[in-house]
């Protein structure tokens, strides 16, 4: 393979934490000297790049610990880099405010939403599919670039924000959500934001049975240039599903615990809701959800539902501290489930709830076995990161739809484990590498967030951003990222044959690489808050 020589420097375009580790990448045939200068030409650092696999070389300037804006030069290449104690403060705020931009059913006023303000949307009741029954389910977040509201991915997004609050409250304390659109505007930021989704989730539970509807959406996706308030097709409640009921149960039990000290009334609704959902689960078989006839929006289908039961039962265990729940989840911890944090593979959420439950309620033996497996899982990820030129725990086959989430979830796993005393030596490096990659240290030099970096995402598959007459997209949105499976028309036409990590296009029609989603932003909030919290010390 002929070696290429960089046309640019691939670096973290958002910035580097003063105390954190600092790298950039170039493509080259041999090691090269590099230097950093202040804007007025004073030399502050010099080094040599090192090979890291393929034709990639990395330059490390971790030892530069003076905040400032610098000019980085390698031969004739130049880049501007920022070193700052709170380098990710603004992007963290924007990534959290994204959830407010996704709010449904309320107006987004200009004072908070700027040029992306809009009137209330989707305000009518939904009809339960196949019946004349109307259900009011206002509020909550649009899932992604479409306007559907789906229970399963909502539970993941809520869990991530609750975890971000539990783990990194100091980093999040600086962040300002859109105060005027919140019903309880004085909670800690992540809880203030997540509360809106929780309140909506509560409306998705059938009061008669405790089962939870899988989603509320129009029958089909509206055209891409549809504004939220112009999407007026009838809203349909798709049937109750096992996956929706289990993930709802887990998220509500988690919320009950977290909001107890901040919003006792909400916490008590969540406790009841989780209990009723669990009762439904114990009376129903694990049946995968499939889109019913006439419904063509996101399916969020999942065939493996034992991990959802694990999450629900361990969240009940942690919420109640009652060892009866441990007897439900302990056998599930023994199964060969994927310990991940995806919308479909949720076992790791369950593992974390189990490990954070009161120790008197669980078996010490199972607990230590679970911790050793967790450490082995992290070892496997760390080994992947070790052999990747960009230091990220990813293989080619991991660049699927939403690959940025795959990466962020893996970084999140390392940080979550630290909270239960499973300390992996690579944890912070992996998290930093994930942020570097997300913010531009990747072979496309693409910052995968709207509104940030020298090469931000400009054309996301996001209906409000396409339909408005503002040039810039809504800021703070994380794009899906490279997807080697080429799952939309324009990707098939333009990206065939590309290496996995470059199968991405910043084009509004490429929904399989360039859509945005609440559950792609949520692990980004967690990881970036984690880096900031560690860096701010
Ligand atoms: O995990 C498998 C892997 O084992 C397999 O080898 C590989 C080969 O195709 O694919 C992987 O599965 C992919 C799966 O996502 C992984 O989560 C599927 O190909 C891929 O089609 C599937 O994509 C999902 C997509 O909807 C289409 O169903 C995305 O995860 C999911 O994030 C996305 O969600 C959409 C909603 O439906 C509608 N709203 C927007 C939202 C974001 O694009
Ligand atoms: O816009 C839709 C996006 O939110 C979904 O993730 C995606 C996959 O389900 O589908 C998009 O809608 C497209 C549809 O599937 C096919 N016709 C073009 C639509 C985009 O305008
Ligand atoms: Zn709406
Ligand atoms: Ca599952």
Are both 396 and 519 inside the same structural domain?
yes
pLDDT at 183: 86
Asked if 300 and 152 touch (Cβ cutoff 8 Å), the reply is yes
DSSP H/E element including 291: none
Which residues form the domain of 173? Answer: 88-302
369 part of a folded domain: no
Q: Is 507 a catalytic residue?
A: no
**pLDDT < 70: residue spans in the chain:** 1-3, 536-537
Among residues 23, 53, 84, the one where a domain terminates is 84
Are both 442 and 337 inside the same structural domain?
no
Q: How far apart (Å, rounded) are the C-alpha atoms in residues 300 and 217?
A: 13
Are both 240 and 157 inside the same structural domain?
yes
Measured in whole angstroms, how far is the alpha carbon of residue 112 from the centre of its chain? 23
Measured in whole angstroms, how far is the alpha carbon of residue 239 from the centre of its chain? 26
Catalytic residue chosen out of the listed positions 192, 461, 468, 488 = 461
pLDDT at 236: 98
Q: Whose CA is nearest to atom 38 of ligand 1?
A: 298
Closest ligand, as measured to the CA of 227: 3
Ligand 4 center to 202 CA (angstroms): 21
Atom of ligand 2 nearest to the CA of 461: 1
Q: How far apart (Å, rounded) are the C-alpha atoms in residues 243 and 342?
A: 13
pLDDT at 361: 97
Domain count, the chain: 4
370 part of a folded domain: no
Are both 136 and 218 inside the same structural domain?
yes
Catalytic residue chosen out of the listed positions 112, 143, 340, 506 = 506
Q: Whose CA is nearest to atom 14 of ligand 1?
A: 401
Are both 58 and 93 inside the same structural domain?
no
pLDDT at 1: 41
Instruction: State if residue 291 touches ligand 1 by the CB under 6 angstroms criterion.
Output: no
Q: How far apart (Å, rounded) are the C-alpha atoms in residues 53 and 141?
A: 42
pLDDT at 3: 57
Are both 73 and 96 inside the same structural domain?
no
Ligand 2 center to 510 CA (angstroms): 9
Atom of ligand 2 nearest to the CA of 223: 21
- From its phi and psi, is residue 15 left (phi > 0), alpha (psi between -120 and 50) or beta? left
Among residues 48, 67, 84, the one where a domain terminates is 84
44 part of a folded domain: yes
pLDDT at 2: 45
Are both 67 and 49 inside the same structural domain?
yes
Instruction: State if residue 487 touches ligand 1 by the CB under 6 angstroms criterion.
Output: yes
Instruction: State if residue 485 touches ligand 1 by the CB under 6 angstroms criterion.
Output: yes
pLDDT at 537: 55
377 part of a folded domain: no
Closest ligand, as measured to the CA of 246: 4
Instruction: State if residue 340 touches ligand 1 by the CB under 6 angstroms criterion.
Output: no
Are both 75 and 95 inside the same structural domain?
no
Atom of ligand 1 nearest to the CA of 461: 43
Q: How far apart (Å, rounded) are the C-alpha atoms in residues 72 and 34?
A: 7
Helix, strand, coil percentages (3-state) for the chain, rounded to 5, are 45, 15, 45
Are both 327 and 245 inside the same structural domain?
no
| Side-chain-side CA neighbours of residue 299 (13 Å) | 11
Q: Is 506 a catalytic residue?
A: yes
Tell me which of 220, 298, 517 to substitute to probe ligand 1's pocket, judged by most ligand atoms within 8 Å of the beta carbon: 298
* pTM for this model (two decimals): 0.98
Among residues 52, 84, 116, the one where a domain terminates is 84
Are both 261 and 115 inside the same structural domain?
yes
Asked if 172 and 165 touch (Cβ cutoff 8 Å), the reply is yes
CATH number at residue 227: 1.50.10.10
């Amino acid at each position: 393979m002929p070696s290429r020589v960089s046309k640019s420097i691939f670096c973290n375009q958002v910035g580097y934490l003063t105390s954190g580790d600092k790298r950039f990448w170039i493509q080259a045939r041999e090691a090269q000297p590099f230097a950093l200068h202040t804007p007025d030409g004073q030399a502050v650092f010099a080094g040599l790049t090192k090979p890291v696999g393929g034709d990639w070389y990395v330059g490390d300037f971790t030892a530069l610990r003076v905040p400032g804006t610098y000019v980085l030069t390698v031969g004739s290449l130049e880049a501007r880099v920022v070193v700052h104690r709170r380098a990710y403060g603004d992007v963290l705020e924007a990534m959290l405010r994204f959830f407010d931009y996704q709010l449904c059913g309320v107006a987004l006023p200009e004072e908070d939403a700027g040029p992306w303000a809009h009137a209330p949307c989707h305000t009518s009741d939904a009809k339960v599919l196949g019946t004349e029954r109307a259900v009011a389910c206002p509020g909550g977040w649009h899932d992604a670039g479409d306007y559907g509201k789906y229970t399963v991915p909502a539970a993941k997004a809520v869990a991530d924000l609750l975890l971000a609050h539990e783990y990194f409250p100091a980093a999040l304390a600086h962040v300002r959500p859109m105060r005027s659109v919140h019903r309880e505007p004085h909670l800690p930021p992540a809880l203030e934001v997540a509360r809106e989704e929780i309140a909506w989730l509560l409306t998705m539970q059938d009061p008669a049975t405790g089962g939870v509807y899988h989603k509320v959406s129009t029958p089909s996706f509206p055209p891409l240039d549809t504004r939220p308030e112009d999407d007026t097709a009838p809203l349909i409640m798709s049937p109750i599903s096992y996956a929706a009921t289990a993930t709802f149960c887990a998220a509500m039990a988690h919320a009950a615990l977290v909001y107890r000290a901040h919003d006792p009334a909400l916490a008590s609704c969540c406790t009841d809701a989780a209990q009723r959902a669990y009762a439904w689960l114990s009376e129903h078989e694990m049946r995968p959800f499939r889109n019913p006839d006439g419904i063509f929006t996101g399916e969020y289908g999942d065939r493996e539902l034992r991990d959802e039961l694990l999450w629900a039962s361990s969240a009940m265990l942690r919420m109640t501290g009652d060892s009866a729940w441990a007897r439900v989840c302990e056998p599930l911890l023994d199964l060969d489930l994927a310990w991940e944090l995806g919308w479909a593979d949720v076992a790791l959420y369950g593992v974390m709830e189990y490990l954070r439950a009161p120790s008197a309620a669980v078996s010490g033996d199972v607990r230590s076995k679970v911790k050793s497996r967790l450490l082995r899982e992290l070892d496997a990820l760390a080994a992947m990161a070790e052999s990747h030129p960009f230091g990220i725990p990813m293989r080619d086959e991991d660049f699927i739809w939403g690959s940025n989430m795959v990466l962020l979830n893996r970084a999140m796993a390392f940080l979550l484990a630290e909270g239960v005393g499973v300390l992996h030596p690579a944890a912070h490096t992996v998290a930093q590498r994930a942020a570097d990659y997300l913010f531009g240290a990747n072979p496309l030099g693409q910052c995968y967030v709207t509104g940030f970096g020298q090469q931000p995402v400009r054309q996301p598959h996001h209906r409000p951003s396409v339909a408005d007459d503002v040039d810039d997209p809504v800021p703070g949105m994380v794009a899906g990222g490279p997807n080697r499976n080429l799952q939309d028309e324009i990707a098939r036409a333009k990206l065939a044959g590309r290496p996995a990590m470059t199968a991405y296009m910043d084009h509004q029609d490429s929904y399989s690489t360039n859509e945005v989603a609440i559950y792609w932003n949520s692990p980004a909030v967690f990881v970036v808050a984690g880096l900031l919290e560690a860096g701010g010390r």
